[in-house]
Structure 1
Amino acid sequence: MNQKIFVSAKEVADRAGVSRSAVSRTFTPGASVSEETRRRVMEAAEALGYHVNHLARGLMRNESGLVCLIVSEMDTPYRSSLIRAISHQLQAVSKIAMLINTDRSDKSVDDALRLAISYRADASIILSGMPDKSITDLCVKSGQRLVLINRDEEREGALMINLNDREAAHRAFIAFQRAGCRRLAFANSDVGTPSLKAREEGFVAAAIEAGVEVIVERFGPTRYQSGVILAQRLLTREARPDAIFCANDLLACGVMDTARHQFKLTVPDDICVIGFDYIEQCSWSSYDLTTFAQPVDQIAKEAVSWLTHPAKTDSIASQISPELVWRGSVRGG
């Protein structure tokens, strides 16, 4: 079996007839090197198949350029779009993403993170409220920089990015009121992340303040099929709701399909629906879903920009207000 042999900078220098330091300067942005030397080094590197060992270079500067993305539910549309946006931003600043899947709450997650730390990963970005806080503890103990997205914990020296979920929920309530809806419901999962709780609590609080009762149903993971079950529970009540605010778009899609196909209701004439996340599917003509847009590009830019600046001991909190995108699932939208 052939073993991969990595070409060294010394081999390139010998072939090009230059010093080892000349090779290093050639591959260092902004370093001084003559055009003739650059040409000879590049030709030798191309012939030998040489690539710069950025990991070794980084370790000499006490940084590797590796960033852990600690993720749950990575196959959901919103999470995959956030992973895509963050990985693109990391690549733009010459950093490499290492993906750690936390869907399984067993020792494999801890082992994966410890392996990433052993490779001297500089930082971790935790992309949701689901991963256990023990993961955050391990990152802090290992001296990593931290970005926490949609989590309710505060860590010294970390950047915390959260949406103003309560304010968004209040706007959803107003939208239903202006559409003439009187029997309101909130459809949630059993996941219980801080952001999902805040949407529910904000919606209920806005309704109580206005003297309006809200039916709350929770079931299962934050998935399409859970929306089907939630719709069945809500729409078989004697006092059937005429408006449902869903904790995310996947739930909303399940609710809408069940309302129309199983209960023969019309959206938005018989029932209005609002979702949350702004996934691609909610723009499809079969849903045309009014929803709150999670600004994934802004979140990614803030996270990566913060990681590229010198570390600070103080924690920094960033709160973003999601935009309400009006479509046809609410009357008057």
Structure 2
Amino acid sequence: MQTEKITSLQVAQRAGVSQSAVSRVFTPGASASAKTVAKVKKAATELGYRPNMMARAMITGKSRIIGLVVAYLDNQFYPLALERLSNALQAQGYHILVFTSSNAQDRIAEVISDLLDYQVDGIITASVGMTNDLTARCETAGIPVVMFNRGQDDAAVGSVTSANVAGGRKVAEFFVSCGHKRIAHIAGWAGSSTGRDRARGFAEGLAAAGMKPLAVIDGHYDRSIAAQVTRDLMARSDPPDAIFVGNDHMAFAVLDTLRHELGLRVPQDVAVIGYDDVPLAAWPAFSLSTVRQPLNRMVDATLDMLLAQIAQGEIAPRRIEFDGPLITRGTTLTPKGPKQ
């Protein structure tokens, strides 16, 4: 049996307030006294009332929904980022609509179209690229876009990342200070700005010390590929004595391959550094040295930029980078001090 749909007018009558007061109570950011809020919410609970968010969106032109497009959730960094973004948006009275997408541009275009159909107020892309055509479509629709942990040359899109070039450089400098001579890099996907920038910083850091990478191989942010690259590297006649891995997700596969398949000692036989500093990196089973992405600051900056564009409209997008420290744990040696 279908039950009667409770209206805001019925809630107003039960609470003894105006219908507009009920609307204010259920509108994030609207003004209502504590006494009014308590009466309205009590009446709503008693009647089983739920506000019609889609109807409100049609009236106000604001859905209070932010679309998030993420390429994959296997990497432990992204579920954590998704949780922080969602919690921060909810604190601002927004909800999050999550779509997963490959980095294939036709799939991204399909997801962006779906988000525009949902009339989201803004879009955050995490580990996903945007073409100029997609950017123009969002701009025409009046929907701001901010890229999280990914950047691109298009100045029309804001982005928030860690300082990836500087991070790669720190890894190179640290390995050199430990006395390593054969240093390889299992890079992140070359099609991503993060993968390219970390590899560039790493190469620049070695060049400053008069060295070159032993090898730079694209790991595509894929565990199975990273494991096979590790086997190939260690099968060389001149295997690396240190490996910089483009993210922690791949680095865990590298460590498992080195320790449990090849029987090598880490860091005595080969040292390893990752990138991200996901919680799993600190677990004793891995104790992974890694470059920390300042996730909280990145999330805050992403939301600040996006919500400012939603509220104020014509705000020029910015490219924001946050420096992150190199966290040393059990997969690296201690730097050598100066000779006496």
**Structure 1 unaligned runs (5+)?**
none
Are 1:311 and 2:313 matched, yes or no?
A: yes
1:245 is paired with a residue whose SS is: strand
Counterpart-to-counterpart distance in 1, 2:130 and 2:31: 43
2:272 is paired with a residue whose SS is: strand
1:7 CA displacement:
1.6
1:193 CA displacement:
0.7
1:164 CA displacement:
1.5
Counterpart-to-counterpart distance in 2, 1:147 and 1:101: 16
1:55 CA displacement:
4.1
Counterpart-to-counterpart distance in 1, 2:189 and 2:38: 61
Counterpart residue number, 2:151: 151
Return closer, same or farther for 1:120/1:6 CA change in 2, 3 Å cut-off: farther
Counterpart-to-counterpart distance in 2, 1:34 and 1:326: 50
Amino acid at match of 2:246: A
Return closer, same or farther for 1:233/1:4 CA change in 2, 3 Å cut-off: farther
Counterpart residue number, 1:281: 280
Amino acid at match of 1:9: S
Counterpart-to-counterpart distance in 2, 1:63 and 1:179: 55
Counterpart residue number, 2:323: 321
Counterpart residue number, 2:338: none
Return closer, same or farther for 1:246/1:138 CA change in 2, 3 Å cut-off: same
1:119 CA displacement:
2.6
Residues 88-167 of structure 1: matches in 2 within 5 Å? 88-103=87-102, 105=104, 109-130=108-129, 134-149=133-148, 150-156=150-156, 158-167=157-166
Residues 112-159 of structure 1, C-alpha deviations (whole Å, 9 max, x = no match): 432322232110011124465654343223210111122223343x43
1:265 CA displacement:
1.7
TM-score for both structures, normalised by structure 2: 0.87
Counterpart-to-counterpart distance in 1, 2:92 and 2:197: 34
Residues 289-308 of structure 1, C-alpha deviations (whole Å, 9 max, x = no match): 11011112111111112233
Kept after mapping to 2: 8 A contact 1:72/1:130? no
Counterpart residue number, 1:68: 67
223-232 or 269-278, which deviates more: 223-232
Return closer, same or farther for 1:319/1:90 CA change in 2, 3 Å cut-off: same
Residues 267-316 of structure 1, C-alpha deviations (whole Å, 9 max, x = no match): 11111111001122211212211101111211111111223332334221
Counterpart-to-counterpart distance in 2, 1:42 and 1:260: 58
Kept after mapping to 1: 8 A contact 2:188/2:221? yes
1:31 CA displacement:
3.9
Counterpart-to-counterpart distance in 2, 1:231 and 1:241: 10
1:187 CA displacement:
0.8
1:47 CA displacement:
2.3
Kept after mapping to 2: 8 A contact 1:129/1:152? no
Kept after mapping to 1: 8 A contact 2:103/2:129? no
1:236 CA displacement:
0.7
Kept after mapping to 2: 8 A contact 1:154/1:160? no
Amino acid at match of 2:167: A
Counterpart-to-counterpart distance in 2, 1:4 and 1:75: 42
Counterpart-to-counterpart distance in 2, 1:32 and 1:95: 19
Residues 1-333 of structure 1: matches in 2 within 5 Å? 2-3=1-2, 6-16=5-15, 18-27=17-26, 31=31, 35=35, 41-103=40-102, 105=104, 109-130=108-129, 134-149=133-148, 150-156=150-156, 158-190=157-189, 192-219=191-218, 221-309=220-308, 310-332=312-334
Q: Report percent identity of matched pairs.
A: 25
Amino acid at match of 1:314: A
1:34 CA displacement:
9.3
Kept after mapping to 2: 8 A contact 1:295/1:322? yes
Return closer, same or farther for 1:242/1:126 CA change in 2, 3 Å cut-off: same
Counterpart-to-counterpart distance in 1, 2:170 and 2:247: 15
Counterpart-to-counterpart distance in 2, 1:21 and 1:189: 53
1:263 CA displacement:
2.6
1:214 is paired with a residue whose SS is: coil
2:214 is paired with a residue whose SS is: strand
Counterpart-to-counterpart distance in 2, 1:192 and 1:26: 47
Amino acid at match of 1:75: D
- The number of equivalent residue pairs is 330
Return closer, same or farther for 1:189/1:163 CA change in 2, 3 Å cut-off: closer
Counterpart-to-counterpart distance in 1, 2:140 and 2:34: 45
